[in-house]
Structure 1
Amino acid sequence: MSATLQEAVIFTKDQCATGLRAAVNILDKWQATTEQACRILRISRSTHARAKLRNPDWSVSLDADQMQRVSLILNIHAALRLIFDNPENTYGFAAMPNNNEFFNGRSPLEVMAQGDMISLYESFRRIDSLRGAQW
């Protein structure tokens, strides 16, 4: 095997379920609709509903793209927690209209809910840049 080949990261069904539950919980706190959450995470409505049930025995398989989306939501949330001291801004920012050139008056949630990875990643980059060197 070549040393340049990268091994694919394999997540267990339990790891996928834990990450998805966390991302769905954050999106709920951001006031995302079910449709927005499903587009952002690229999951079905039924998977979204099962992720909200809090069944400890539930597990799910997610592909690399879906896990990347979960990761971006968790990282946006972490950045917002560093930027803001109060929960109203931490959880309300994603739904607020934003006049930053990239968002162009739309909320970050609206942009992320377009469903493509570029919109989600670029929203993360813009929000993450607000924290400056706080990491």
Structure 2
Amino acid sequence: MHPTYAYPKSRFEPTVLVDLNAKAERERLSKSALKGFFRLVAAWNLRDDDARELLGGLSSSAYYEWKKNPERVLEVDRITRISYLLGIYKALHILYGDKLADEWVSLPNTNQIFGGRTPLAHMLGGGLLAMQTTRQLLDARRGGL
């Protein structure tokens, strides 16, 4: 008879994934996501054009309407973008003091991912995948991965 092996039970609760395809989940998260995004825009001192591009190319009129009234349901792409950006913001504030954390995205970076450009330029040029890569880099630096 062979012994039976099993993975040890984790002391951590399993992570419940949010289904962003479910409209009810997006309704629940959208307003706070937008409020957090606009606070991040202010903290990072972003130009409106750059903020609109980080949202996936939002028009000026829609951007100002969203800023004035965040009561709306975001699409999966936009809520995912905001999630990455807020994760980047949080990781930066864990890794660095507030001043450097808020300036980091606008400083030239010699990491090969950025190639001397600013992380902001990298994310503006590379969109969602560049945001994901930047988030993964920072999570790895803080020991989150």
Using structure 1 for the length normalisation, give the TM-score. 0.79
CA distance in 1, matches of 2:95, 2:20: 35
The answer to whether the Cα contact below 8 Å between 2:91 and 2:142 also exists between their aligned partners in 1 is: yes
Aligned-partner SS, 2:125:
coil
Aligned-partner SS, 1:90:
helix
Aligned-partner SS, 1:70:
helix
Instruction: Specify which structure has the bigger relative contact order, considering alpha-carbon pairs within 8 angstroms and separated by 6 or more residues.
Output: 1
The answer to whether the Cα contact below 8 Å between 1:37 and 1:113 also exists between their aligned partners in 2 is: no
How many residues are matched?
Answer: 124
CA distance in 2, matches of 1:35, 1:116: 14
Shift of 1:16: 1.1
CA spacing shift, 1:7–1:117, aligned 2, 3 Å = closer
1:24 counterpart (34, 38, 46): 38
Using structure 2 for the length normalisation, give the TM-score. 0.74
Gaps of 5+ in 2: 1-18
CA spacing shift, 1:27–1:128, aligned 2, 3 Å = farther
CA spacing shift, 1:7–1:66, aligned 2, 3 Å = closer
Gaps of 5+ in 1: 1-5
State the identity %. Answer: 23
Q: Does 1:9 align with 2:22?
A: yes
Q: Which protein is bigger by CA-based radius of gyration?
A: 2
Shift of 1:7: 8.2
The answer to whether the Cα contact below 8 Å between 1:38 and 1:45 also exists between their aligned partners in 2 is: yes
CA spacing shift, 1:21–1:115, aligned 2, 3 Å = farther
CA distance in 2, matches of 1:111, 1:24: 20
CA distance in 1, matches of 2:91, 2:101: 9
CA distance in 2, matches of 1:126, 1:34: 26
The answer to whether the Cα contact below 8 Å between 2:37 and 2:86 also exists between their aligned partners in 1 is: yes
